[in-house]
Amino acid sequence: MNYPKEKARGDNWGSRRDQIDLRKKEKEEDAGAWIACYFFIIFCVAIICMILFFLWLFPVKLNEPHYGRAKFDVKNAWLTQFNIMSDHNSYNNLTHILQYQVIINITATNPYEEARYGIFYEDIEAHAYYNNQLLGTTSLGPVFVEASNPTALTAIFTGTKLIVIGANEVSEIKNDISTGIYGIQVKLIVISNNEWELHRYTLPKYQITCNLKVPLGLEGSKGTNFNFTECYYN
């Protein structure tokens, strides 16, 4: 009779099967751990990407203004020349020749009293309009607005321009000539490039409008001075 030997074999097989089951269970646990670790890494990467995206979209404010939004005002402006000429000596004609020179003193200030950083503009372009017609464009170059001190800028527009005067605009031009005060609109295109902006490589652009009533002559041909004018962001 071989009963003891068969029993030993059965015991060995049972022990081996237990070991196989144990190894299988360990492999399943290891696979589950790797899967959990994999999803945890993906979750962390997604969170970091979301944080970076929101920092890019809404950058952390470091003593505002963070976007370089300085305050622009026109302290003084005057026309040294503004002549509208016509071959027929009448404003009822369609086209006229305009000879002009306008000088505009602009002040840029940091509107935040406790700001420790200045504002740097890659470029500022000034565009002057009269009667909704472009007179000229000039570059004010790179500009640095200090944190506490105002920065003075001067834009000069001069030249000869062919303008179109419609029937509805004749009375307005005649009124400008009679009062010696002309409606000049100045638009500033500013390109911000502050080093502490996380998305500075996008170089944000802003447009600022200044609606001016500019006298002919430094004190106005009719004795009228220029009134300080605040500009606004569009």
Number of H helices, E strands in the chain: 2, 10
Q: Residue 50: pLDDT above 60?
A: yes
pLDDT at residue 149 in the model:
84
pLDDT at residue 198 in the model:
46
pTM over 0.85: no
Q: Taking residues 26-50, what's their average pLDDT?
A: 79
Q: Taking residues 13-42, what's their average pLDDT?
A: 69
73 strand-pairing partners: 107, 230
Q: pLDDT: is 209 or 62 the higher one?
A: 209
Contact yes or no for 117/146 (Cβ under 8 A) = no
Q: pLDDT: is 175 or 200 the higher one?
A: 175
Averaged confidence pLDDT in the chain = 77
Whole-angstrom distance, CA of residue 184 vs CA of residue 74: 12
pLDDT at residue 175 in the model:
86
Residue of 67, 72, 73 whose CA lies nearest to 119: 67
pLDDT at residue 62 in the model:
40
Comparing 8-17, 105-114, 195-204, the range with the smallest average pLDDT is: 195-204
CA 176 to chain centre: 34
pLDDT at residue 23 in the model:
67
Segment (H or E) for 170 = helix 170-179
Q: Taking residues 73-98, what's their average pLDDT?
A: 78
How confident is residue 65, by pLDDT bands cut at 50, 70 and 90? very low
pLDDT at residue 40 in the model:
85
Whole-angstrom distance, CA of residue 117 vs CA of residue 136: 33
At 112-162, the pLDDT tens digits run: 766 667 788 888 999 999 988 899 999 998 888 887 888 999 999 999 988
| The token pair that represents 210 in the structure block | 């200044």
> Fold for domain 71-233?
Immunoglobulin-like (2.60.40)
Q: Residue 88: pLDDT above 80?
A: no
The residue ranges of every structural domain in the chain are 16-60, 71-233
Q: Residue 37: pLDDT above 50?
A: yes
Hunting for tokens 């009963």 — which residue is that?
Answer: 3
Residue type, 210: C
Q: Taking residues 211-218, what's their average pLDDT?
A: 88
